[in-house]
Structure 1
Amino acid sequence: MINRVILVGRLTKNPELRYTPTGVAVANFTLAVNRTFTNQQGEREADFIPVVVWRRQAENAANFLTKGSLAGVDGRIQTRSYENNEGRRVYITEVVADSVQFLEPKGAKQGGGNNFAQQGPPNSGNNNNNNNSNHPNQDYPPFEDPFANDGKPIDISDDDLPF
């Protein structure tokens, strides 16, 4: 039997990070995933899928993902139930993530095109007095596009091409 889910979507709000009584990190967030078809009015609808992620991945998601961030989730579907205050059985279906991938740089704007050339890695500014181990990329220079058009012809022989 196979229970595997792969999703790509945007977070509807910031992840909620909590810790179990034994100190294990757990984060919850909802991923808005567009459907591949449009409705009768020509609008694209979305599904809002709850995601749970555990341990170090939970802490990373809480530290680096925010509302609107594009993320990829690989995991499995899980259904659980509990009895609410009114004595009714409540069923919850969610994705338990094995892996969460950050699919755009931190702080990138939605729908603003490709912002990679304008911004560096997370925390790459002049804030060098913050030696936080959660941001190992802070000492790298800003990202520069090696394929930017500088007006010069590119000298590549046919032997260097892979096709």
Structure 2
Amino acid sequence: MAFQTVILVGNLGRDPEMRYTPSGEPVTSFSVATSREYTGKEGKVKETTWFRISVWGKMAEVCNNYLRKGSKVLVEGRLTPDPATGAPRIWTGKDGRQGTSYEVTASTVRFLSSRTESAEGGGSYAGGGEDAGDMMVGEDDIPF
């Protein structure tokens, strides 16, 4: 048996986008930027890596309602390779340069920003009396 899991902590690069499959299943997509700093030969280097996250079912609806651009999240899931190559998706930008898209199907999304932090980042959490910063939706909430 093989097992793969990826854990990311980062910030949303834009507001989430939710859509529905033809069968009515909700799916929400958003991008997460992770970063690290280290000292190289040239001095301090800041490295940012972007991931495209897909979230399904009830978790998709919760993420769409509570997350906004700038929200800090912890995402646990699996890498989703390009079916044709088995590698990350490779794309060509308008300027002709190639880029790579790392795609993750989330099994868990933990909200690390408080409502206040999210509001300061340009968005606010919607919804009832639950504190979204303490919410976690996991694989058990996915209806398949």
Please state which band the TM-score falls in when normalised by the shorter chain.
0.5 to 0.7
Question: What is the RMSD computed on CA atoms of the aligned residues?
Answer: 3.0
Answer yes or no: is the 8 Å Cα contact 1:81–1:92 preserved in 2.
Answer: no
Answer yes or no: is the 8 Å Cα contact 2:51–2:101 preserved in 1.
Answer: no
Per the normalisation by structure 2, the TM-score is 0.66
Answer yes or no: is the 8 Å Cα contact 1:15–1:61 preserved in 2.
Answer: yes
Deviation of 1:105 after TM superposition, in Å, equals 0.9
Percent identity of paired positions between Structure 1 and Structure 2: 34
Q: 2:114 aligns with which of 90, 105, 110?
A: 105
Unaligned runs of 5+ in 2: 85-89, 92-99, 132-144
**Match of 2:44, SS?**
coil
Choose 38-47 or 10-19, whichever is displaced more. Answer: 38-47
What is residue 15 of structure 1 aligned with on the other side?
16
- Larger strand proportion of the pair: 2
Structure number, greater radius of gyration: 1
Q: How many residues align?
A: 113
Identify the structure with bigger relative contact order (alpha carbons < 8 Å, sequence gap 6+): 2
What is residue 135 of structure 1 aligned with on the other side?
128
Unaligned runs of 5+ in 1: 83-88, 113-121, 124-133, 139-163
Alignment partners' CA distance in 2, 1:49 and 1:92 = 7
The letter of the residue matching 2:128 is H
Answer yes or no: is the 8 Å Cα contact 2:12–2:33 preserved in 1.
Answer: yes
Alignment partners' CA distance in 2, 1:92 and 1:47 = 9
